[in-house]
Structure formats: structure tokens, C-alpha cells
Chain A
Amino acid sequence: MSRYEEDLWIITRDNLVALMEVFIKTREVIAPVRGHGEEVIFYPIESIEDVAWDWQYVNAVLPPKRFFLPQTEVMFEYRYDNGYKITPRYDDRVRMIFGIRPCDVNALVFLDRFFGGGSLSKKSPDEEPLFPDSHYIKRRANTFIIAFGCHQPGENCFCVCCDGGPFLEEDYDLQLTSMNGDYAVEVGSARGLKIIYGNEHFFHMASSDEVKELERIKEDALNKFGDTCAYVSKAIRRVTEAKVDDSLWEKLAERCLDCGGCSYVCPTCCCYNIVDIPLSEKSGIRTRTWDSCAFAGFTRIAGGEILRSDKKDRLKRRFFHKLSYQYIEKNKRHGCVGCGRCITTCLGDINMPSVVEAIRKQKVTVQAAATLRHEEEI
């Protein structure tokens, strides 16, 4: 166990409701709420009544990424009045995200490193991070994380094989796990501990039996994954060594609709476009919006040439970015946390487990073997 503080705390459901009522009054609280039908989405809540509790959902259909990297956000305003004046726009609301699942927290940690500038090549380890993204960083720093451990995986979940869950060991503020009608509370950060000490009357220290019970729940959860496994390591190696024959991407490309859904629902996908929107003749805003490497226009250069015009090259790109060791080295982990959302979304059945399986099962063909020999000759 690598908690910020070893002590385990317990909070009853009533106390948790009371504590959340306090938070709702003092900051924006984002929580899973019921959308249409069974689906659950993250949304700012006004009352604890709106919350979908952990036993009512496995995970939200969309990741909470948009609260850190909104689908469209204003970066600055410009105004012309005898010269240009630019006013940056930052979102520094104090927020709390309640009920976020471990896979999504791990995706945020991935984005923290990326937007923090820690993923870019540095000449020495103690060099300052390159080009930190103030807009992302401000939102992230102001958001307190209350995660819910997953004792019941969903049918598409494979976080166990992606270092994504089902429980967090680091990088959270508080982690709650349902236990005998109450919640076990693990503390993952100094500000998490501050919440406990500041509201001590809501919590009590767990007994040694309760500590053991939490361990049992965690073990039990792992067992529930059964056969769900993506076996990514072989795919990582083959993608890294360029041993995947193009015919695989060609076959997948026949089923890809270019919709970009896979990127939009993925908690670690974060490519964006930058677009100016004039609001009057002399003023306007610069915005950034989500983009996707699945779109042909993503690599269009002057003169109209599209560098990745072939759909198979775009799919290859997406999975190279997610899986190759070249990117693992930059990001310190592969780009999938096993949330399973691409499984639910893609109409063409192109998702992380299915692609990994296809790569794993593909015979290393004559063609691929030939390139290999060629490389050895050099």
C-alpha cells in the first residue's frame, strides 16, 4: 500500500451525504448523474440528490476529460483599439470531482504529464518542463479528486491489464470504497488529509477488521475480471518493432467510418485544433477544440496535400501512439487505461482489445520478416 497516510478511515453514507452538501455549497462539484435511461454522465451537481451512487453505475459513458480539456475552450480574447490588446481567459474555479473511477484518474495522470510538459524530450533530467499548458494545469490543480474504487467491473472493463485500476494506489486525494453499507476512505494526498481533519466529526478510524475487509474486497474485485484481459505486451513489442503488416491496418480501415468517436471518448486522447472566431470587426476569441488523428484534414498542409490521406495510416498512427515503446518512454506508460469506452463506441469494432488481439494473432509475414533482415544488413 502506498497511501499518503497509512490510516484508513470510515465514513457512513449519511455522513458522506452531509459532507457533500457542504462541498456543494462551497465549490463546483462534478459527479456522475443519470442522463437518459441507464447512462451516467459527469455533470456539475446542485444537490446530492442528483448523484448516481457507485452501485448504480460502472462508469460514465464519457470520461471527465472535458472538465480539464473542454471540447471547446476560449484561450484568449483579442480586441483592436488603436492596437491589439489580448486578454487570456483562464478557468480557475475551485472544483471537486466526485465518483471518478480509477481508470479515469490514471488517464488524468497521463494528461498531467503530457500537458505539464514532462513528456517532451529533454536534454537533461533536471531541465524545466517544456511548454507547460497553463489552461490545463490551472483546471487540474484546482480540482479535488474523490475517486471510487471499483469492486464490480463492467463487461468492457480491462483496467487490470492496463495499469488503470480497479483501485488506485497513488495520484488521488481521497479514494472511497463501498464496504458494508459505509465507505472505506483512503487518503492519497496532503489536501485529502486536510479534508479529513477539517471534518473530523464525519469520519472515524477503521478497525483492524475493517482494514482486512478492504483488502478482501480489493482481492475479490480482481477475481471478478475473470478472462477480461487485453494482453497488450505482445502488441506493444510488435508495434514498436514495426512488425505489424500493413494488411492488418488495411483490413481495419475497411470498417473505420472516420467519425473520430474513438478519440473523443478516450480519456487519454487529447489532440486539438486552434480556431479564431471573430465576434465583431474589431474583436474576437481564439478557441481550441478537440480534434482527432482519425480525420483526414488533421495533417493537411498548404496546397491541400494530406500527409496521412490513407485511412489505414491514420489507424496505424492512433495505435502506434497508444502502444509503441517510443511513446511509452515519453509518457511513462502506454496510452490506454482500459476503460473500455472505445469498445462501446466504435461501430466498426475497432477498439483497443480487438486491435491488440488482431496484432497478437497476426502471423509475422514474409514481408515483415524481409524488412527485418534488411535492417540487420545495415
Chain B
Amino acid sequence: MKDVYFPDIAVIDNIRNETGDVKTFTMRFKDPDIQENLTYRSGQFFEVSIFGIGEMPISITTSPSHKGFFELSVKNVGLVSGVLHGLPSGSEVGIRGPFGNGFPYEEVFGKDLLFVGGGIGLAPLRSLINNVLDNRDNFGRVIILYGSRTPGDLVFRDEFKAWEDQPDVSTLVTVDRGDEKWVGNVGVVTTLFPKAGIESKNAVAFVCGPPVMIPFVIKDLLKLGFKEDTIISTLERHMKCGAGKCGHCCIGHKYVCVDGPVFSYREMKAMME
């Protein structure tokens, strides 16, 4: 029986500074067999261990179509994330998972896809976006809308161009507050909606971002004609086990770590609590 609490060791091969407080870590499992056999869905997460400090849930930001490594983008917000930020390349961490349900993927073949990300919330979406773009023919139009507080808080900046270059993909970026060099959009992410030419008819929207952003985005999506079950988002809860046991992540009768973190707006509304 596989012990669900037993972490496998992964090595940090590369570290990229995304913003002042977000780093992307490229990792691989030390045991080549484990790396080889790794399968996951976009939207799933790992429990990342820094031994002696603790664990934290982090979304896998790499597309499942990329093999041989995986990436985690982590914002420095506290204990475990802080220590991880201080580690040099070559360090070892513990990894458990993948956990969670992940985004619908096969289920949205043939659909137009709208991605709405805020801040570090682009991390889980990036996995799905890249998987969609690597299998471009399976999907309709793709619109990516992304916002952050300042230009310095935009993550994965290098990738926007590559996304934009793909056929029938538009990527629009905005910041709440610009700086001297910023010539792009200014305003919260919903201000991009009118500019993006969104058609809700055959579309599914994926929304990830800070909790304050989600209700506003959903409100505007409903106005655009999206249905409660074509709006897909994620919930953030305190998590310890990732396996539906420790009780920390429960909302109503759902274990966010197992039944989520991905839910449709309809499911979120039905959660009693």
C-alpha cells in the first residue's frame, strides 16, 4: 500500500525570478522512475515539503504535455514558502501528490476557452493554457486575460508572446496601477472584458486569482451570458494532508483537496456553509 504521507524527493534544477516575491522552481524527482511515471491533470497540486519546516500545497504550473520535469511557481508569503525562496539550485525538497481533481480538459474539447487570471492565480491556469495550446486543434478560440497589481507583479511575462503567436489566441494584460514604463492597459481584469470580444455561446471560462477578484469576475461573466456550470474556478483553503483526512480544507460536505480545488460556479454556490 502506498503511504499517502510519504514524500518523494525532488531536486530543484533551476530557479527563475518572476516578480519580487514569486519564483518559479524547475524540479525533477530524484528517482527517474517516479519522474517518468508522473501523470497529472492541469489544476492538480503537490504538497511540497521543506523538511523540518513543513508542507504547503502548490499547483503544478507545467503542462502535463511537458515531460521530464515539472515547475512550481511560489509566492513568498510565510514560513514554508519563505524558506523555499531561500534555497539554491540543487537543493532537495519533498513532494507528495498529485492531489485534487484538476480542470476539465477532455470535457471542453471543441469549446472556446476564456482564461481569467489574477496575480499568482495564473500558475494553475498556465498548465492548462499550455496543454490547450500544445493540442491546439482540439479547441476553439482562446482568450487569455490577466491582471496584476503592478507591472512588477506580472508572472510568466516571457510566455505571453508565445501564447499570442499561436493561431486564434488573444492575450490581454492589465495592471491596477502602471508605472513610468507601462504603456499597456490599466484597470482591474474585468475592464478587459469589453476589449476582448468574448462570445459566451460555446465557451467555458476558467477563473483563478485572489479571493477578492473572483466574485467580480463571475458577476461580469454571468452578464456576458456564461452559465453557472461554464464558469470554472478554484478555491483556496488551509490544507494539511491533501488526501481528505485531516479535515482542514472542508467546506460544507466537500473536501477541497479531493473534490476540488476546481469547482464550477454552480457547485460553489451549492456548497453549504
Contact = CB atoms under 8 A, between A and B. Distances in A.
Interface in A282-298: 284, 286, 288, 291, 293, 298
B246 A131 contact: no
A302 interface: yes
B5 A293 contact: no
A272 B236 CA distance: 19
B247 A276 contact: no
A31 B260 CA distance: 42
Given A88-B6, A278-B52, A293 B247 contact: yes
A131 B245 contact: yes
Contacts of A114: 245
Interface in A260-303: 270-278, 284, 286, 288, 291, 293, 298-303
A78 B51 contact: yes
B94 to A, nearest CB: 7
A299 B245 contact: no
A324 interface: yes
A133 B243 CA distance: 9
A214 B81 CA distance: 62
Interface stretch (B187-195, B201-209, B248-256): B248-256
B246 A291 contact: yes
A368 interface: no
Contacts of A301: 236-238
Contacts of A278: 52
Nearest to A239: B272
A313 B238 contact: no
Interface in B1-39: 1, 3-7, 9, 30
B240 interface: yes
A107 to B, nearest CB: 16
A83 B236 contact: no
A274 B30 CA distance: 24
Nearest to B56: A302
Interface in A77-123: 78, 80, 83-84, 86, 88, 114-115, 117, 119-121
Interface in A110-159: 114-115, 117, 119-121, 130-135, 137
A330 B78 contact: no
Contact of A134 (B1, B9, B252, B258): B1
Nearest to A132: B1
A321 B255 CA distance: 12
B170 to A, nearest CB: 32
A76 interface: yes
B243 A131 contact: yes
Main secondary structure on chain A at its contact with chain B? mixed
Nearest to A240: B272
B247 A271 contact: yes
Given A84-B92, A275-B54, A307-B237, A133 B78 contact: no
A351 B115 CA distance: 47
Nearest to A87: B6
B245 A284 contact: no
A243 to B, nearest CB: 11
A80 B49 CA distance: 14
A218 interface: no
A326 interface: yes
A242 interface: yes
A298 B248 contact: yes
Contact of B253 (A76, A299, A327): A327
A357 to B, nearest CB: 22
A320 interface: yes
B77 interface: yes
A83 B273 CA distance: 44
A327 B272 CA distance: 12
Given A78-B52, A84-B9, A302 B245 contact: no
B51 A130 contact: no
The 8 tightest CB contacts between A and B, nearest first, are: A271-B247, A326-B253, A131-B243, A278-B52, A302-B77, A78-B51, A131-B4, A134-B3
20 contacts: A88-B3, A88-B5, A131-B244, A134-B1, A137-B1, A271-B246, A272-B240, A274-B240, A274-B241, A275-B54, A276-B54, A278-B52, A286-B5, A288-B5, A291-B247, A291-B248, A301-B237, A302-B75, A302-B77, A303-B77
Given A78-B51, A114-B245, A288-B246, 19 more contacts: A76-B5, A80-B51, A86-B94, A88-B5, A115-B245, A119-B244, A133-B4, A135-B3, A135-B5, A242-B272, A271-B246, A272-B247, A273-B240, A276-B53, A303-B77, A316-B273, A317-B250, A320-B273, A326-B253
